[in-house]
């Protein structure tokens, strides 16, 4: 082999190697983990019925059920549950401590700026949890403002930003780690109403005769927001494959039979809403 042939061979080898490296880089960290035989780490907070850990530590809740079933359809069955605080979900994803984020994650512009979402797995609204009998007649954020009441909501929930946007002063908003603490604040009289999504509000109301849920329809229609599954911004290819499998699974008899036990009903299915539109609108 002469000098020219040797030079060409080395150049081709360099180009091929660079191309392969670029292809690997484009695959994304999640696909790299799957290729290496490592489990897909599913990050979620304790937020029943959306997501929570079972007695055996398994990922439960309808968002986890949907996500795990879609992953199975993609051929991925090695899933590792990672339970964390709600406020730590997106930081954990961006720090690569988890690979996918589930739970009742509303598609909001602020979140879209920090991670990517799948297409919606459902569309949901909000409600208040109030003392039984609703003695102060709370049904909207304006009631909180007019009566100078204290509202409580889990940290990181969309209801905090919504309340502020509606004009509720920051000093009238109490943030707590989760819905258990929200219920405790209402029962102890430290808060007059708790704001959360309607599914969680109903679950909290069912936990105690001392509280009840207000009418979700009292909230403005725009409070109904798509919920989706979160992915790292480098995992476009995996997310697109997930979306393709999700489109076939969403609303199927298999899905509805499984999620019915967590109070997910057909009315929650997306009706043409898209993640791209939600990221711009919310």
Task: Look at phi and psi of residue 75 and say left if phi exceeds 0, alpha if psi is from -120 to 50, else beta.
Answer: left
Residues 117 and 56 in one domain: yes
Residues 119 and 233 in one domain: yes
Residues 157 and 141 in one domain: yes
Residues 147 and 93 in one domain: no
Residues 79 and 43 in one domain: yes
Contact 203, 83 (CB under 8 A): no
Residues 36 and 62 in one domain: yes
Position 27 scores a pLDDT of: 55
Query: Which residue is it, tokens 């697109």?
Result: 240
Query: Which residue is it, tokens 């936990």?
Result: 207
Residues 197 and 255 in one domain: no
Residues 147 and 201 in one domain: yes
Position 100 scores a pLDDT of: 98
Residue 86 to residue 88: CA distance in whole angstroms: 5
Residues 234 and 178 in one domain: no
What are the pLDDT tens digits along the chain (282 aa)? 543 444 434 443 433 343 333 333 345 889 999 999 999 999 999 988 999 999 999 999 999 999 999 999 999 999 999 999 999 999 999 999 999 999 889 999 999 999 999 999 999 888 999 999 999 999 999 999 999 999 999 998 989 999 999 999 999 999 999 999 999 999 999 999 999 988 889 889 988 999 999 988 888 777 788 999 999 999 999 999 999 999 999 999 999 999 998 888 888 899 899 999 999 986
Residues 46 and 115 in one domain: yes
DSSP-derived 3-state class of residue 15: helix
Q: Which two tokens stand for residue 93?
A: 């994803």
Query: Which is nearest to 118 in space by CA: 257, 272, 226?
Result: 226
Residues 111 and 249 in one domain: yes
Contact 144, 172 (CB under 8 A): yes
Residue 21 lies in a domain: no
Question: Angle at the Cα of 105 (from 72 to 84), degrees rounded to 5?
Answer: 80
Position 22 scores a pLDDT of: 36
Position 14 scores a pLDDT of: 39
Number of domains in the chain: 2
Residue 19 lies in a domain: no
Residue 3 lies in a domain: no
Residue numbers of the domain that contains 243: 29-123+225-281
Q: Which residues pair with 106 in a beta bridge?
A: 227
Strands 100-101 and 230-231: antiparallel
Contact 68, 255 (CB under 8 A): no
CA distances from residue 229 to 68, 99, 174 in whole angstroms, order as listed:
11, 11, 27
Torsion of CA 270, 153, 203, 40, to 10 degrees: 60
Position 217 scores a pLDDT of: 80
Cis amide bond preceding 49, omega within 30: yes
């Amino acid at each position: 082999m002469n000098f020219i042939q040797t030079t060409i061979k080395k150049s081709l080898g360099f180009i091929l190697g660079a191309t392969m490296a670029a292809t690997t880089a484009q695959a994304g960290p999640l696909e790299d983990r799957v290729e290496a035989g490592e489990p897909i780490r599913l990050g979620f907070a304790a937020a029943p019925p959306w997501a929570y850990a079972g007695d055996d530590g398994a990922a439960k809740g309808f968002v986890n059920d949907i996500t795990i079933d879609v992953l199975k359809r993609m051929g991925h069955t090695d899933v590792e549950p990672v339970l964390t605080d709600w406020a730590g979900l997106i930081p954990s994803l961006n720090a690569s401590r988890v690979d996918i984020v589930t739970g009742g994650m509303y598609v909001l512009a602020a979140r879209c700026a920090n991670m990517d979402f799948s297409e919606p797995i459902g569309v949901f609204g909000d409600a208040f949890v109030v003392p039984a009998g609703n003695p102060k007649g709370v049904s909207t954020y304006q009631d909180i403002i007019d009566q100078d009441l204290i509202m409580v909501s889990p940290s990181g929930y969309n209801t905090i930003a919504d309340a502020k946007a509606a004009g509720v002063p920051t000093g009238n908003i109490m943030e707590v780690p989760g819905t258990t603490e929200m219920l405790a604040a209402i029962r102890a009289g430290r808060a007059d109403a708790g704001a959360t999504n309607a599914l969680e509000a109903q679950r909290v109301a069912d936990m105690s005769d001392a509280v009840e849920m207000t009418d979700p329809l009292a909230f403005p229609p725009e409070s109904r927001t798509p919920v989706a599954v979160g992915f790292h911004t480098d995992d476009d290819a995996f997310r697109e494959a997930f979306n393709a499998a999700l489109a076939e699974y969403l609303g199927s008899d298999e899905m509805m039979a499984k999620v019915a036990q967590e109070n997910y009903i057909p009315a929650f299915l997306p009706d043409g809403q898209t993640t791209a539109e939600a990221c711009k609108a919310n």
